[in-house]
Amino acid sequence: MYSRPPEITATSRTFVALVSATDQWSPGRRWLVSTASFVVLVLGDYVTGAHISFLFLYMICAAIAVWCVGERGGVALAACGVVISGLFRHYLIVAEFQGAALSPLAEIWNNAGRLLSIVLVAGLVAGLRAALELERWRASCDGLTGALNKLAFDEHMAILLDRARRRGQALLIAYMDLDGFKGVNDRHGHAAGDDVLRGFATAAAQVIRRTDLFARIGGDEFVALMAVPSREDGDQVAAMLHRRLTAILHATGYDVTCSMGALVIDGPQLASGRELLDLADHLMYDVKRSGKNAFRIAHFGEASHVPTVSAEPNAIRI
């Protein structure tokens, strides 16, 4: 059945823009904005006196806090704001009405109603955030392994390449293929093959840093994109990565190895992402044609890009 995409409205565009902006904030900035908004609101509530209700603004602040710091932190900030505001309002009513304050039961009811209203809004925002994160994960990640899918990898790669160009930073692209994976499916079934893929992706993602990219490109093909201090460090990182990936596959108990093509790139000389992926892919296939279970390294970024064979085992440099 054909389904049309949902209509993009001005409200949805604004919402997406706000989501993208807050995603770039550090945890410290998230807490600062959330806390400061409640401090300003409580002070404004105190200054304006007991006749003006700020409940709607408390709901907005609670929504911002939950979105920025999570449900628990947002509700905690909102509860503190309501309690402090309730105390202020109590003393303001006493002062303005010359001691004729509300009954304790009325004050408890009013404050409880305000708190429950704010908690309800916080819960709705927390649910919206969780649903959005789930859909974003489904759209950007491979359902079997949890690694990035190809579309998401291409998008993140473009950002990382642009940042590397501006900073003159070196990068390492490692293109990996699992040797013998088809034999696991044939002899042990696809469930065993799925276990190998999941285990490999989970362990490989733990080997690299959170700021690096790791994606499943095809059936048993993966790619990693990592920032490295220099070209020489890229060689060492590639060798280390292949050793660890080989150990990961050995631990599965199946006869599966890894062929890897590694491309070390100078930041100022970066080409397009598609070209770099193709070069790393060709290196990986060179490994498979020459015996598998090895890696080859190439450098991209010098004036000459003609391959030259190095004396170092399993390494070709450009």
Q: Count CB-CB contacts under 10 A for residue 118.
A: 26
Query: 């959005």: which residue's tokens?
Result: 132
User: Which of 300, 286, 156 minimizes the C-alpha distance to 235?
Assistant: 300
Torsion sign (Cα): 273, 218, 305, 315: positive
69-73, 82-86, 170-174, 238-242: least confident range:
82-86
> Where do we find the tokens 């010098």?
302
* Closest-CA residue to 81 (of 35, 124, 48): 35
Q: How confident is the model at residue 175 (pLDDT cuts 50, 70, 90)?
A: very high
**pLDDT tens, 106-163?**
767 777 887 888 888 888 888 888 887 777 777 788 888 888 888 888 888 888 888 8
Going along the chain from its start, the domains and CATH numbers come out as: 10-140 (no CATH), 150-317 (3.30.70.270)
Give pLDDT tens digits for 203-255. Answer: 888 888 888 899 998 889 999 998 888 877 888 889 998 998 898 888 888 88
- Name the DSSP letter for residue 267: G
Q: List, in sequence order, every residue forming a beta bridge with 264; answer none if it has no partner.
A: 172, 299
Token pair, residue 300, equals 């991209």
* Strand extents, DSSP E, 218-290: 221-228, 257-265
